[in-house]
A and B are shown apart, each in its own frame.
Chain A
């Protein structure tokens, strides 16, 4: 049964949450707002890149927008701009909430946000000018990537401070993932950046360091933040504890053990010592352990409650993301097998897989988290349920279309390229319809991002109604009408969150 609203214990809980949320307000809004800007820019760069592959003459006269520059510019804006900035926003909010302390170092974190934006802007500009490094996922020039790493060091210090001053002694599973992300990823970032930009690693060693790092951006940075969000928001939105806490802890430790071994599966068939590639393959197969525990756990938490996805945008986006995590991880483990890799490697199949990971899994969870967090920070409702629906369906349909089209096309491409009797131009021509499907899918996703950007813009400008319930799929007025029509009492209008 619901407790009495005048209950002092309940009132204290409301106050405590409000104080913590307010302490995170400016910082998290800055990181979130910036991330949406980079998402829009990244989508534009992605569309230009995609169109060039089936219509090569498109914007071909300007060297700034040639494929070799727009493509890395897209990758770096979405990874360091969109994904990392939205991730840090969610991470700071979740850590403050779960440690039950006010967010420390607020001015510093605002400065860090501005500094981060400046670094990503300079780095992207340098890539477009032609000063990219051509090392995938680390295309920013060294004098941008190294200063960017400083923020990671700040994040380590902040994490340790929050851990030491926390008021809730028990670490919830999400905190384990967040500490994993903030403490391990900076090591990787600094190590890889130093190795790659110094003369120490050349040739094969450079490629090895490159892919060890690139795979771990997903594995030890975005994945833990995404899973931490899913482990918090799914139970929190449903009001139902996760099915098995025990499994969730096993999942965390097995991820910590196995994920960072997997990177060399990107170099199957390359001139590496065979054992190094085998280690990557074994690491990838071992990932079945954390993936199955997470999949089983989330599914059993949701079981019997899937209909509630209709009522909550947060749940809708996050469950879509959590399901994609299972799919992308199983696909990833299988792709690391040499016999599968033989066909899929160096084709569009890999691109489809990468987007299933960073977009369908990570970004959808980031969207869902932002739908939950932002109304609580700003104390306003989302302005339009229609835009939320457009956002979800455009992105979900776009993403599925993207993945199906390119996976299928990429597989055909791989089979054709492995057949020495097929002339290369035949392969190129055969791919054109699939590449068109990607441009159409990308346009759909961009439409979704634009509706999301409008919502976030209006949220930051406080144009929504005063917060009564944070998330609406219909406006409050419609809700009252619906309630009146069915002769039910209208929802109470008193703001309990104030």
Chain B
């Protein structure tokens, strides 16, 4: 039973410690600063904000590329 307890506590502490370590790392390395920039990090010049990347052709033909597609239109 003692071995089991040591094992369980080991796992629990390791799990807990990994989350605390991740949170501390995130705060100190600035991952939790500049949120809006974070949201736009998945766009680039070729697939900018305002462009759909998965759609069927007639919609592309008739589409007016509009700024309403992206609230914060940076255009990079």
Contacts and interface: CB of A to CB of B under 8 A. Distances in A.
Nearest to A5: B46
A462 B1 CA distance: 57
A215 to B, nearest CB: 15
B73 to A, nearest CB: 10
User: Which size class do B's interface residues fall under?
Assistant: 35 or more
Contact of A170 (B3, B37, B47, B52): B37
A257 B14 CA distance: 14
Contacts of B65: 1-2
A269 B4 CA distance: 26
B56 A239 contact: no
Contacts of A474: 56-58
Contacts of B68: 304
Interface string B11-49: 100110011001100100001100111111111111111
Interface stretch (A36-44, A55-63, A279-287, A306-314): A306-314
Interface string A302-338: 0010001001111100000000000000000000000
Interface string B53-76: 111111111100100111110010
A238 interface: yes
A64 interface: no
A238 B52 contact: yes
Contact of A490 (B14, B54, B61): B61
A50 interface: no
A488 B15 contact: no
A125 interface: no
A232 B42 contact: yes
Contacts of A12: 45
A187 B60 contact: no
A236 B53 contact: yes
Nearest to A201: B4
A472 B23 CA distance: 42
A54 B37 CA distance: 56
Nearest to B58: A482
B53 A483 contact: no
B61 A483 contact: yes
Contacts of B15: 184, 187-188, 260
Contacts of A308: 52, 55
Interface of B: 1, 3-4, 7-8, 11, 14-15, 18-19, 22-23, 26, 31-32, 35-62, 65, 68-72, 75
The list of the 7 closest CB pairs from A to B, nearest first, reads A479-B57, A200-B4, A245-B39, A241-B39, A13-B46, A311-B55, A13-B44
22 contacts: A2-B65, A13-B47, A98-B42, A191-B8, A200-B1, A200-B4, A235-B42, A236-B43, A237-B53, A239-B69, A241-B42, A241-B71, A241-B72, A246-B35, A257-B19, A311-B56, A312-B55, A385-B56, A469-B55, A479-B57, A479-B61, A486-B58
Interface of A: 1-3, 7, 9-14, 17, 98, 168, 170-173, 179, 183-184, 187-188, 191, 194-195, 200-201, 232, 235-242, 245-246, 249, 253, 256-257, 260, 304, 308, 311-315, 371-372, 385, 469-474, 476, 479-480, 482-483, 486, 488-491
Given A239-B43, A480-B57, A489-B61, 20 more contacts: A2-B51, A9-B45, A17-B46, A187-B11, A187-B15, A191-B8, A237-B55, A239-B69, A240-B49, A241-B40, A241-B71, A245-B36, A249-B32, A308-B55, A312-B55, A313-B54, A314-B54, A479-B56, A488-B61, A490-B61
